[in-house]
Structure 1
């Protein structure tokens, strides 16, 4: 019968997972500020899963390898699971009208595979604790309430097509500043005698509705088209 891993070692593994989650949250925080699809929650899930995969790969087969006459590498199975489950997770990622959904679901599928591997390797405590930890993380960050409390400012990017009139850039920059868009910068993408297309980048408070800013710009007849993308460069 397989000997259970000592409790202190199991707790040490849990500490590694918690530290990995903190590191993932740090990376996700930066991505969330840039309004990327994979934010805090997704990075936490991926970090937890990665740590768990590593723990299983490093310690999960010790009992088998210590048996007399064993001359194989059972960890290769774990490697194949990691690769195979990635394809399944990719199938949950959807792109509709430049909006990406399903990233956290894909990461959750990947993390679930890691938990299954841990339990299958006899690492019951770490597998169960990781399940509870992931459940709490997914629940707390599900509606972005806590994230919105932490992240105060986000990127705001729009592409504008307008009539090439005198001072059109200054007019739009003043309107954006009046709408509380900070650190406004513009980059001309195309210009002709009658048309100009330029990219606008700025920072807004996370509580500001981007739709209000866009509607404020629409009142200018010289603006022909506004293309808004949720996310930083």
Structure 2
């Protein structure tokens, strides 16, 4: 199981490995009926889980935003949080440019499918935003 920020990844794989080892121990102990029954239950459970997660996919979105004011950070994050769960963000200040440019890289998962346009519209309405790139 790999825990990254707020998300757990690989939980189904870890559970499958533990289930397989338990089934192997059961078969090795001579309890063939119990092992076969457990195998069928695990396969049914994994099939149901795979169908549930295919129905509701969460799309990962990457954004790059440039702004003219440093105070825009809170406004940008609030606008983004309304439509997506932020997993990571990076804030960079470029003082060598005239005027100073502030660059945000934000990665997250959309709360609802198709919210990219709504998110873009909300960000575009913010003052001092120079550019928005959504991937």
Normalised by the shorter chain, which TM-score bucket? 0.5 to 0.7
Give deviations 1:61-102, integer Å, cap 9, x for gaps.
x8xxxxxxxxxxxxxxxxxxxxxxxxxxxxxxxxxxxxxxxx
Distance 2:106 2:14 in 1: 29
Give the equivalent residue in structure 1 for 2:120. 218
- Relative CO higher for 1 or 2, CA cutoff 8 Å, sep ≥ 6? 2
CA distance in 1, matches of 2:62, 2:93: 13
1:143–1:169 CA distance, 2 compared to 1 (3 A): same
Q: 1:128: Cα distance to partner?
A: 1.3
Tell whether the 8 Å contact from 2:66 to 2:130 is kept in structure 1 after alignment.
yes
Unaligned runs of at least 5 residues, structure 1: 1-26, 63-121, 149-154, 228-233
Equivalent position of 2:19 in the other structure: 48
**Alpha carbon RMSD of aligned pairs, Å?**
4.1
Displacement of 1:45 in angstroms is: 1.8
More helix by share: 1
Q: Gaps (5+ residues) in structure 2?
A: none
Q: Is the 8 A contact 2:65 2:131 kept in 1?
A: yes
Aligned length: 119
Match for residue 103 of structure 2? 196
Give the Å deviation of 1:162: 2.1
**For the structure 1 residues 184 and 124, does the alpha-carbon distance in structure 2 shift closer, same or farther, using more than 3 Å as the test?**
closer
| Superposition deviation, residue 42 in structure 1 | 3.1
Instruction: Please state whether the residue corresponding to 2:51 is helix, strand or coil.
Output: coil
